Structure 1
């Protein structure tokens, strides 16, 4: 299992950055390799991604979500991974977005890509593209302001 962390500062209020991140179906617009994300309900998503020549589909569960603070998830099927995106207000118009992920690559190609730092590079690139995506808009494309508490341990 590999740990990845990436951070980007965006020139939008924390509410705007968070609201846009909750629009999972927009992820293919700024996440490399993500073909589709379908939000099944408040807690569940279905993903179709490509990693090199491989196509992967998997389901993920949102395990915790708090408006303007964090969105955490874990995979239910497919490549094993989990993570959290946190949102930190820097000032009225600037937000720090941090991605922390644990990924267990599947197969030879994905393990080689992980060892070469390709996965970490991809996550950093996704955050840079998110910055460009959200800063080019006059406002977010939608929002989900619901709260999902952390499961009892």
Structure 2
């Protein structure tokens, strides 16, 4: 099993970051590893992405928990990965975003287990891309 945990601090309120994260369909606009996204129903997610080895993958997941403004967790429909993203206030207009995920060797996503350093770097790059996107999109209230 490969476990990855990455955190970044963003200059936006936690609720703003959470709200932006739930706009999954926008991920291909700012995350280079996400090629396409589909949201078949309220709890289902389907991503087309480049995996840690540069191969095109389809990842299907279901949302297992969603606490507005705080966290979203998911698991792969084949049971081969799971994750959670949390949004914690660090000030009036700042927050810490933490993305944690695990992949299991027996599943389709198991190749990450052989390259945990590469997957952590890729996850950090994606989270930094998200941070830049949400900060650029947010306008400070007057």
Category of TM-score, reference length = shorter chain: 0.7 to 0.9
Worse overlay, 25-34 or 10-19? 25-34
In structure 2, do the counterparts of structure 1 residues 83 and 110 end up closer, same or farther at CA, with 3 Å as the change threshold? closer
Q: Which runs of 5+ in 1 are unaligned?
A: 140-153
How far did residue 97 of structure 1 move? 0.4
C-alpha distance in 1 between matches for 2:95 and 2:31 = 19
Whether 1:130 and 2:130 are equivalent positions in the alignment is yes
RMSD (CA atoms): 2.1
Q: Which runs of 5+ in 2 are unaligned?
A: none
Structure 2 match to 1:143: none
Correspondences of 1:3-152 after superposition (within 5 Å): 3-51=3-51, 52-77=53-78, 80-104=80-104, 106=108, 110-112=112-114, 114-115=115-116, 117-138=117-138
How far did residue 57 of structure 1 move? 1.2
CA contact (8 A) 1:32 1:122 kept: no
Give the secondary structure class of the aligned counterpart of 1:56: strand
Give the secondary structure class of the aligned counterpart of 2:89: strand
TM-score normalised over the length of structure 2? 0.86
How far did residue 104 of structure 1 move? 2.8
Give the secondary structure class of the aligned counterpart of 1:132: helix
Give the secondary structure class of the aligned counterpart of 2:7: strand
Worse overlay, 85-94 or 46-55? 46-55
